Each structure stands twice: as C-alpha cells, then as structure tokens.
Structure 1
C-alpha cells in the first residue's frame, strides 16, 4: 500500500485528483487532502505519506517551496507536481528537488495513472523507512493512550531496532535517526519545551544515541502530563468544542485557523501545545471513538461505518483504526463480542 497526500487550492480539482488516485489502483490510498502548501507541510509531518501530489501554485506556500522543504529535510516522500504552466524553469527547479513527475493541467486520468505506476519502484524503496517513521509518529501521538512509561519504552525499543540494522542498511539507519531527531526538535520547539540541558550528538556515531533519544522523549512525555494541568486558551477550547460537534464533516487545518483568525502554522503549533496532538489526529481520534461504539452496538458493515463517521475511504479508516486501537475494525468487533 502506498499512502498519498494531495495538495491543490481549487476544490473541484482537488476532489477530482483524489478520486483519480483512488481509482488508479487499490495499492494507492489517499490519507490527506489540503488546499495550500502550509497545511500540506503540517500534514506531511503528522501522517507521513509516501507520495505527495501537489499543485505548483498555491497560497501560503507554493508547491515548489513545499518540495524544496521535503528535499531539505530528506523526508522519505516521492513528489509529483501538477502545474498549469509549461515552464522549463519550473520543471528544472523541480528536478533539483528530486520531484519524480511534472504533469500539466488539465490532468487526465490515464497520464496520472501512468505517473503513479512509474513511481512504484521509488515507493517500494521507501516502504521500510516510511513504516518506521509512521510507528515513531504514532507513539509520539500516543494514539493507543498508553501510560507515559510504556509509550517511552516502546519508543526506545523502536530506536534500538533501528540501531540493530545490518551495516549494509547503514544509510537507512542514519536517515531514520536524522528524521526522528528533526521531528522531536520541531515538536519540542513548537510546544515551547526547552531542552538546553541535552547536548546534541552525532546520530551517525551510534554511541550515546539511545540515552539521547530517551532524554528528548522524556521531555515530551513529561510535558504532556503538565499540559493537562495548565489552562487552555479560550480559542483552543472553542476550537475543540466545534470539532467535537462537527468532526464528521470535512474539517481542515486551514478552516480552523481562519475561524481562530490565526495563521495555519501558528494555530497548528498552539493546538499541538494544548491538546498534545495534531488537528488531524484529534479529529481522527473522535471518529475512531464513534466507530468503536457503532461496531459494538450495531450490525453496520465497516464500509457503512466509514461513511457514517466521515472517513474518506474504508482502507484509510481501517488503517487509522488499527494504528489507534491495535486491531482491525472486524477484529475489534469479534474480540469484544466474544
């Protein structure tokens, strides 16, 4: 399965591309759709897609800048640009950022499908790396509501499994450790959590890696317990109430930021600081809780529940459910009924 994020500022084009990707083959699964580059950048660091399809011209952050950031941070993502401009300089710049495909609007289904199929080889090479990053993110979000001590233990075990990779996978090992490090630093900085007492290390060295990550992760998990006791800004409380009342609808980071009269990046950081998770994971958490109730109290099929709680596709719902609960929807229903 290849997870896909689509970024396009024209709503009808965005819906069209999402539909084409879903029809291109069962192996392609859309896990996010957004209308500007800033929101796409935030979603990338939360859902970790394997493939990005982005318009080149968008508000907040354009597609080229977005691809540049992905390249700069060496994220395990294949990028496809869609443009209304047959401009050699744009295409040339995209190539320097490692963009896989450059497609012109209007996008035809056959061309997009061919582009996706051509990307499969690159996507396959990223599978292992992406899998580790998704697990790391799920534990950071603590989607299974584990006690902090157990969540930290599982994170450390994940780091140790990366360190135990054979020497022939050294580049993969180093890439993962760098991604984990940047993610942690970014998260701590966004939530105003200080860590000057933790000296930086060379993650490629190996020695001191586990104690370093353990110290950084302890900062994060300890801050989560403090957040619950601190006062939440009124605007975040209002946002949470709105989300709880409307979570089955298509709630986007951009929409919520506009409601709060904040920039996308500022609202995202403030929301994470005071809820302990990203907007998309907060919304998905509410959907999963409702899905659990429906699985136990009704005979609805998984596809019917997908639609009721507001997930875009059944495979995406099943993936989020398993990541959160530890079981597939049907396994959960069967075990709870037994």
Structure 2
C-alpha cells in the first residue's frame, strides 16, 4: 500500500483529491495539509511515498515543499496540480524531478493514470522509506524502551542506513541527520541547553554508533527526572481545552501558544503523552463526540458534523469511517436508531 500526502488549501478540492485516491487500489491517503509548512511537518511525521501538492499555497508554493523533499533525498514521488499552465512552473518542476504536472480541474481518470504511471518509481522507494518509518516508530516509542532496547534498536537502524546497498552516501548522510535531529529534539525537551552533536565525515559505522550512543546516554540519564515534572499537566490542560472547544478551528500553533510552548516542543510532548499526533487526537475526540450525538440526539449527520468542528460533510464522513470503521449512517443504523 502506497501512502499519499495531499497538500491543497482549497478544502473542496482537497476532499475531491482524497476521494479520487481512495478509489484506486494500492493507494491510501494518510495525511492532508493546507499549507507548505503543515505539509512539511506531516511529511516528516508520516513519511508518505507520494505527495500530491498544489503549486499555489497560502504560505509558500508547492515547489518549495518539493525542493525540501529533494534536498533531504527523501524517497518520494511528487505530483503537482496547478491552476496555471505556466512554463516557468513546468521548468522548475522538471528540475525538481516531479513525476507528474496536472492542470486543474483534475478528473479521476487523470489522477489515477498519473499514480499508475508512478508505480515503477514507487517500487524503488519502498526500502529507503521503510528505514524512515523505522526511525519514526523508534522516536515515537523512545520513552517506552529500557536502556538495552534503546541501544539495540538504534544499532539496528544505523546498520540499515549504513550497511545496506539501497542508499548512496548522500542519502545515508541525510537519513542519519534526520535520525539525529529527531533524537536531539527529544533530548532538548528535557535538557534545553544540550549542544548539537555532529556526524563523523567518513560515516564509519563504528564512529557513527559512538555519536548516537552518546545521545542515548544523555537521554537515559535525564529522562527519569523529566518524566515526573509538570509537563504531563500542561498537556492534560491542553487536551481539556481541545475537548471544550472542539467545534472551533484549532491548530497545533494555537494550542502551543495556549500552552506557552514552541510548536515543535508542544507537538513532541503532545504525541509522547497522548500517543497520538495533534491532528489525530483532535479528530478522535471530535468523532467520539459525534458518536455520542448520533446515539443521543435526532440531529442530521451534517448538523452533527458542524457541531463537532468539521467544515465539510465529506471530510467528516471520511474521518468518522477511519476512526469508527463505519459511516455515521451505518453507525446509527447499527444501534437500531
């Protein structure tokens, strides 16, 4: 199954693109974003193998997102959608090795054909993409490991990066920096004065392990002291606020400001303490409330969608089915209501 990230600021178009992707076997949308920065953040959390992005976004254009993907040598097939048939855009897209350049309005046949033509390139992404997913899975569970497990899992990932044949040296350096950056970010949460480490220039596996082992020693030394402080209460307070204001348009930055934390710091802490990303947690509590309203009221489904903060009914239906495994109507019928 190839995972897809859709980056499009117009909600109706984004909904349509997501539905089109879901109609094609072998592809699944795992993330949606409305801006370049949000797309880049999700890119580094979900590690999709396909990115479908509009060129014109509210903050920066989609080419900037693709430029970042190429700079970090990420194993991603990129598809651009645009409302403008501009030669300069096409030139830049070619330079960035974009797989497809599609003009709006896009039909399901066009998008399916573009994705199908990309399968050959996607096959080469599978192994390196798995390494990135393994890094993310390890980081997300960092606080669960005993020290021995931490070192064993780290060595396994480092060997996958340095010991295989799927990555050239440039990609090896990039993946090691991604791994080191994520690990350092967690350490800085519990020790803000921590100084960044650096990789050995020759990427000798033994020397690289030594650098990462030093990072792990820092984590295992300081995390027990950190785990007992008031950060859990900060996230608990944020969750309570989200529960009381779920009908509003909540963003990670808004909640970080509410908690007096940086967005990056808040996002890491939030996932650590809730087990879910900010977006997944917000969707989960919204759907939990929607299920309650479906059981206890006679409101229409679209009214319930509005009550719990969803801007469109298609998006509500899609998220509901992802969480509850059935549609809202199926859920209500299953209760005999």
| TM-score with structure 1 setting the length | 0.71
The total of aligned residue pairs comes to: 290
Match of 1:23 in 2: 23
Q: CA deviation at 1:227?
A: 3.8
Is the Cα–Cα contact under 8 Å of residues 5 and 30 in structure 2 kept in the other structure?
yes
Structure 2 counterpart of 1:53:
52
Specify the alignment match of 1:88 in structure 2: 87
Name the CA shift for 1:242/1:124 in 2 (closer, same or farther; >3 Å).
farther
Answer yes or no: is the 8 Å Cα contact 1:160–1:210 preserved in 2: no
**Aligned to 1:208, what secondary structure does the other structure show?**
helix
2:310 paired residue number: none
Relative to structure 1, the CA distance from residue 22 to residue 101 in structure 2 (aligned partners, 3 Å threshold; closer, same or farther) is same
**Do 1:268 and 1:279's aligned partners in 2 also have CA atoms closer than 8 Å?**
no
Rounded Cα–Cα distance in structure 2 between residues aligned with 1:42 and 1:101: 23
**Given the two structures, how large is their TM-score scaled by the length of structure 2?**
0.72
- Change in Cα spacing, 1:260 to 1:31, as seen in structure 2 (3 Å) is same
Match of 1:271 among 267, 274, 278: 267
Does structure 1 residue 154 correspond to structure 2 residue 131?
Answer: no
Determine the C-alpha separation between the residues in 2 that align with 1:250 and 1:5.
25
Q: 1:38 to 1:270 in 2, by over 3 A?
A: same
SS of alignment partner, residue 5 of structure 1: strand
Residue 238 of structure 1, CA deviation: 3.5
Residues 135, 179 of structure 2: 8 Å contact kept: no
Which has the greater radius of gyration? 2
1:178 match: 174
Q: Which deviates more from structure 2 when the two are superposed, residues 145-154 or residues 277-286?
A: 277-286
- Does 1:281 pair with 2:277? yes
Structure 1, 97-106 or 219-228: larger mean CA deviation: 219-228
Matches of 2:254 and 2:278, distance apart in 1: 18
Name the residue aligned to 1:32.
31
The runs of 5 or more residues in structure 2 that have no matched partner are 289-316, 326-337
Change (3 A) 1:228 1:283: farther
Is 2:5 aligned against 1:5? yes
1:187-240 CA distance string (max 9 Å, x none): 525846455484531264434122222223444555544443343398754333
Partner deviation per Cα, 1:30-55 (whole Å, 9 max, x = no partner):
11111111111111111100110011
Pairing of 1:174-323 with structure 2 (within 5 A): 175-185=171-181, 188-189=184-185, 191=188, 193-196=192-195, 198-202=197-201, 204-220=203-219, 224-232=223-231, 236-243=235-242, 255-258=251-254, 266-273=262-269, 276=272, 281=277, 284=280, 311=322
Query: In 2, Cα distance between the equivalents of 1:174 and 1:251?
Result: 44
Residues 203 and 285 from structure 1, CA distance in 2 versus in 1: closer, same or farther, beyond 3 angstroms?
farther
Counterpart Cα distance in 2 of 1:59 and 1:30 = 22
Q: Using the alignment, how far apart are the partners of 2:13 and 2:212 within structure 1? A: 42
Contact 2:3–2:29 (CA under 8 A) maintained in structure 1: yes
What is the match of residue 121 of structure 2? 122
The Cα shift of 1:110 comes to 0.6
* Higher RCO structure (Cα 8 Å, ≥6 apart): 1
Aligned CA distance change for structure 1 residues 155 and 183 (closer, same or farther; 3 Å): closer
Q: Could you tell me how far 1:308 is from its partner in structure 2?
A: 9.0
Gapped runs of 5+ residues in structure 1? 292-305, 315-338
- Over aligned residues, Cα RMSD in angstroms? 3.8
- Indicate if the aligned counterparts of 2:267 and 2:278 stay in contact, CA closer than 8 A: no
